Structure 1
Amino acid sequence: MKYEGVLTKMRTELTSTVEYYLIFESDFINVNQLLNKRISFNFLRFQCLHCGLQKKIFAQGYCYTCFSTLPQAGEWIRSPERSTAHLDIEDRDLEFEKEAQLQPHIVYLANSSDVKVGVTRKTQIPTRWIDQGAHEAIEIVEVPNRYLAGITEVALKSHVSDKTNWRKMLTNEVKDLNLEEEREKLKQYIPAEAMEYYLENNKETEIHFPVLQFPKKVKTLNLFKQPFYEGVLKGIKGQYLIFEDGTAFNVRSHEGYVVELGVL
């Protein structure tokens, strides 16, 4: 059986074990059902997720032109502390930026490899945690805009990492921690402007991923360098497909790639 479409990050659903879905224009695939099956990826061409043109993808599924001009690719996405919509100052499109930035945001702790601090819109909980491959996570503050979340993250990342070690995450070199205790240790470093939004009583969320076999060593698949790959799917964690031979395929980093997916 073969499917064809442009890759976007896998949709997820938090159940007892995370359910994953690949959404193509005319196909809908439950990726969990592909576990223990031999599947193949054949890279056909690029397709920008915004303009739809067959142009090389630069970042986030966009060609360079779209990435350089779209408000949803502005620097405040990667650096929330640079958000300015609360000051009525435009970056690329003030109306878009107000809608995106002036809504509840969560600063959280997630444990994927080691504990890290991160920021996301409230509506993206727990999706953001799943995408990062976190087996446990907890909210620290819930603030009314992205700027407050950003300055809180900046203050806290002097005391805890803001990065995920994806190799450790994929090989399951992880340990369970009491995130409520970790949150309490960081409370003293929360900026005064955000302290009133501190969440005292939230409990940590546990997440279980559909992985039958973790690799001992990981090798990454880059479809631009290796346009065809075939292997037996053994797990899904974060936005990675994990194969029997230790190959890990990051679906999100291949957004905008048109592929033929074969299920053998």
Structure 2
Amino acid sequence: MIFQGVLTKMKTELSNPVQYYLVFENDFLHMNQLLNKTLTIQFVKYQCLNCGLDKPIYRQGFDKKCFFEVPQAADWVIRPELSTAHLGQEDRDLEYEKKVQLQPHIVYLANSSNVKVGVTRKQQVPTRWIDQGAHEAIEIVEVPNRYLAGITELALKDFVGDKTNWRKMLKNDVDDENLVEWREKLKTYIPDEAIKYFIENNNETNIEFPVIQYPKKPKSLNLVKQQEYTGKLVGIKGQYLIFEDDTVFNIRSNEGLVVKIIVN
């Protein structure tokens, strides 16, 4: 079977284990069904997720020009405390910014390689946790806009991490943590503007990933450089495909590449 299309992050469905779907324009692959099968992945060309042109991808699936122009790649996306739509102030596109920033956001704790704090839109729960490869997560506050979530995350980053160690996450070198205790411990540090949105008495969500074999020394596939790779798929975690030879391929960081996938 041969499939071809532009990579965008895999769609997911929370079940036991998580179900993964790689969606192309005219087709999709249910990735769980490809476990234990040999895949060949070939680089075909670039296709910017904004303009559609065959220009080298700079970041987040966009070519360099689009990356610095589109609202989806503005600084407030990565640093939510920079959000200004609640003040009526435009960054790149006020209508888009209002639509995204002025909706319920969750500040959460997730454990993927270690306990970390993060921000996501409420509608992205639990998708965001799955994409990070977190095996457990819990909501701390639910606020009405992105700015409040951002300043809360900023305050809590002094006491807990905000980055995932992708190698540790993929090796499944993780400890179970009591996230309810962590939430209570961090409550003291939530800013005054957000403390009334603190979530009481919720439980952590546990997530199982479809992995047959974890890599001992994960090595990242650079498809543009290598052009083609063949390996047996033995797991999926976060947005990574895990292969038997310890090669891992991050779908998310390769958005905007047109690939051909051959299932042998």
Instruction: Determine the C-alpha separation between the residues in 2 that align with 1:202 and 1:101.
Output: 25
Cα deviation 1:48-70 (Å, max 9, x = unaligned): 01111111111110111111111
The Cα of 1:128 is off from its aligned counterpart by 0.1
Q: Does 1:236 align with 2:255?
A: no
Instruction: Determine the C-alpha separation between the residues in 1 that align with 2:172 and 2:49.
Output: 32
The Cα of 1:201 is off from its aligned counterpart by 1.2
Give the TM-score, by structure 2 length. Answer: 0.99
Q: Which runs of 5+ in 2 are unaligned?
A: none
SS state of the match for residue 170, structure 1? helix
The Cα of 1:168 is off from its aligned counterpart by 0.5
Residue 154 of structure 1 corresponds to which residue in structure 2?
Answer: 154
Residue 225 of structure 2 corresponds to which residue in structure 1?
Answer: 225
Which amino acid counterpart does residue 132 of structure 2 have in structure 1?
Q
Q: Does 1:28 align with 2:9?
A: no
Which amino acid counterpart does residue 103 of structure 1 have in structure 2?
Q
Give the TM-score, by structure 1 length. Answer: 0.99
Cα deviation 1:147-201 (Å, max 9, x = unaligned): 0000000000010000001101000100111100011110100000000000011
| 118-127 vs 20-29, which moves further | 20-29
Q: Which runs of 5+ in 1 are unaligned?
A: none
Q: Does 1:11 align with 2:11?
A: yes
Residues paired across the two proteins, number: 264
Residue 206 of structure 2 corresponds to which residue in structure 1?
Answer: 206
After superposition, where does 1:34-53 map in structure 2 within 5 Å?
34-53=34-53
Residue 181 of structure 2 corresponds to which residue in structure 1?
Answer: 181
The Cα of 1:227 is off from its aligned counterpart by 1.1
Which amino acid counterpart does residue 207 of structure 2 have in structure 1?
I
Instruction: Determine the C-alpha separation between the residues in 1 that align with 2:238 and 2:90.
Output: 33
The Cα of 1:71 is off from its aligned counterpart by 1.0
SS state of the match for residue 183, structure 1? helix
Which amino acid counterpart does residue 114 of structure 2 have in structure 1?
D
Which amino acid counterpart does residue 102 of structure 1 have in structure 2?
L
The Cα of 1:124 is off from its aligned counterpart by 0.2
Instruction: Determine the C-alpha separation between the residues in 2 that align with 1:226 and 1:198.
Output: 48
Cα deviation 1:65-92 (Å, max 9, x = unaligned): 1111111111100100000000110001
Which amino acid counterpart does residue 178 of structure 2 have in structure 1?
N
SS state of the match for residue 224, structure 1? helix
Residue 60 of structure 2 corresponds to which residue in structure 1?
Answer: 60
SS state of the match for residue 142, structure 2? strand
The Cα of 1:224 is off from its aligned counterpart by 1.6
Cα deviation 1:97-134 (Å, max 9, x = unaligned): 01110000000000001000000000000000000000
Which amino acid counterpart does residue 190 of structure 1 have in structure 2?
I
SS state of the match for residue 225, structure 2? coil
Residue 73 of structure 2 corresponds to which residue in structure 1?
Answer: 73
Residue 122 of structure 1 corresponds to which residue in structure 2?
Answer: 122
The Cα of 1:135 is off from its aligned counterpart by 0.2
Residue 100 of structure 1 corresponds to which residue in structure 2?
Answer: 100
